[in-house]
């Protein structure tokens, strides 16, 4: 058992406390720059810092957000006035999180499939992040649906890496967020997404168990069971909620501290609507809290308003807070669009 077991349990519980969710702002520099470039925002370190300051200093953010997930560059940054972001986060009672994977890379011998890297030196990096104040971590694995894929090899190597990461996190005092994302890209049906998510979660929990990860000291960050973006037959909100809950109930052990979804390219409104029905209809039959850990579905309206202009910060913060509030309501089954 980890020497941090009691602390990890308390942290995991706090991350999924009633009415709260996690805010992912851990885009790598490459991803952040891509989102900036789409809006013609100059892709500089200072703009990335200013944007993260906008988010983290949003008034009342901690009412709805238990913890933001940061990127390595961000956890070392400060506000314009010189207060470290970690201090900004902890002062209002939120928990700092950190992305520790180093990205999804091409999987050798498997065209169009990825394996997430970042295990080398991870024990030492976790120790550094813990000493900087981080209390939870994230690792994202990517599973692609396509012709003949995902392969069992892709699912296995990613599940193994997720479990090795999670065990190292618990050893070093960070609650692992275990994120196996089944991508929304493609024209696959809801049923196919269910099968792939089922296979993936089964493999991930098999590895977590085999490698001694404590379920009550981790959070699962899954994708919802949806149809591919290009699928002509798009399911209803009710169908997505039902399929997702069925898949989770089949695969996620009861002691898991919480389930916090990614938004995965769904619109802000749609991802909130799905989360809302899951909680309004199925909370009574789920053994774990079901909440959000969204990036785009919370940030995008704020980023589109801000566009790198300092006089737009306050309104952008209002937009961010609005999405956080909507998803908080959805996590309680009380959201109305």
The minimum distance between CB 27 and ligand 13P, in angstroms, equals 8
The minimum distance between CB 178 and ligand 13P, in angstroms, equals 12
The Cα 302–Cα 319 span in angstroms is 5
Q: What angle do CA 29, 270, 262 make, to 5 degrees?
A: 40
25 by DSSP, 3-state: which? coil
Given 20, 53, 221, 242, which residue is catalytic?
221
Cα-flanking dihedrals φ and ψ of residue 159, to 5°?
-65, -40
Q: State the CB neighbour count (10 A cutoff) for residue 186.
A: 18
The Cα 58–Cα 68 span in angstroms is 12
Q: Give buried/exposed letters for 146-177 (b at 16+ CB in 10 A, else e).
A: eeebbbeebbebbbbbbbbbbbbbbebbbbbb
> Which is closer to ligand 13P, CB of 9 or CB of 229?
229
What sign has the CA pseudo-torsion 319, 321, 323, 326? negative
The minimum distance between CB 140 and ligand 13P, in angstroms, equals 4
The minimum distance between CB 120 and ligand 13P, in angstroms, equals 20
> Which is closer to ligand 13P, CB of 2 or CB of 138?
138
The Cα 197–Cα 183 span in angstroms is 10
> Which is closer to ligand 13P, CB of 2 or CB of 162?
162
Query: Which tokens in the block code for residue 110?
Result: 């498997």
The minimum distance between CB 196 and ligand 13P, in angstroms, equals 17
Given 179, 191, 242, 334, which residue is catalytic?
179
> Which is closer to ligand 13P, CB of 207 or CB of 263?
263
The Cα 229–Cα 234 span in angstroms is 8
The minimum distance between CB 328 and ligand 13P, in angstroms, equals 15
Give the CA distances from residue 39 to residues 30, 42, 84, 269, 318, in Å, rounded to whole numbers and listed in that order: 15, 9, 27, 21, 19
Query: CB of 266 within 8 A of CB of 184?
Result: yes
45 is catalytic: no
Interface residue list for ligand 13P (CB under 6 A): 24, 140, 179, 262-264, 294-297
> Which is closer to ligand 13P, CB of 179 or CB of 242?
179
> Which is closer to ligand 13P, CB of 139 or CB of 205?
139
7 is catalytic: no
Q: Which residues are catalytic?
A: 179, 221
């Amino acid at each position: 058992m980890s020497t941090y077991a009691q602390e990890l349990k308390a942290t995991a519980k706090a991350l999924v406390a009633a009415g709260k969710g996690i805010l992912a702002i851990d885009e790598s520099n490459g991803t952040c720059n891509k989102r900036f470039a789409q809006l013609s925002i100059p892709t500089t370190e200072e703009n990335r810092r200013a944007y993260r300051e906008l988010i983290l200093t949003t008034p009342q953010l901690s009412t709805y957000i238990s913890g933001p997930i940061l990127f390595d560059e961000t956890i070392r940054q400060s506000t314009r006035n010189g207060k470290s972001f970690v201090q900004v986060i902890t002062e209002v009672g939120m928990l700092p999180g950190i992305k520790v994977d180093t990205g999804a890379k091409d999987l050798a011998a498997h065209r169009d499939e990825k394996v997430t890297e970042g295990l080398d030196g991870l024990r030492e990096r976790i120790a550094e992040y813990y000493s900087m104040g981080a209390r939870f971590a994230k690792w994202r694995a990517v599973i692609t649906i396509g012709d003949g894929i995902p392969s069992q090899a892709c699912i296995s190597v990613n599940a193994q890496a997720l479990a090795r990461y999670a065990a190292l996190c618990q050893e070093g005092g960070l609650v692992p967020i275990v994120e196996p994302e089944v991508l929304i890209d493609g024209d696959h049906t809801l049923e196919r997404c269910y099968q792939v998510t089922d296979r993936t979660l089964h493999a991930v929990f098999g590895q977590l168990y085999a490698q001694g990860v404590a379920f009550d000291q981790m959070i699962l960050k899954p994708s919802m069971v949806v149809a591919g973006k290009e699928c002509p037959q798009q399911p209803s909100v009710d169908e997505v909620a039902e399929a997702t809950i069925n898949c989770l109930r089949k695969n996620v052990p009861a002691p898991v501290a919480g389930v916090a979804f990614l938004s995965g390219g769904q619109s802000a409104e749609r991802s909130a609507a799905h989360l809302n029905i899951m909680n309004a209809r199925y909370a009574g039959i789920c053994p774990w809290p079901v909440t959000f850990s969204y990036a785009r579905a919370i940030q995008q309206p704020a980023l589109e308003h801000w566009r790198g202009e300092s006089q737009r910060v306050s309104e952008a913060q209002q937009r961010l807070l609005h999405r956080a509030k909507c998803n908080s309501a959805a996590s309680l089954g009380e959201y109305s669009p």
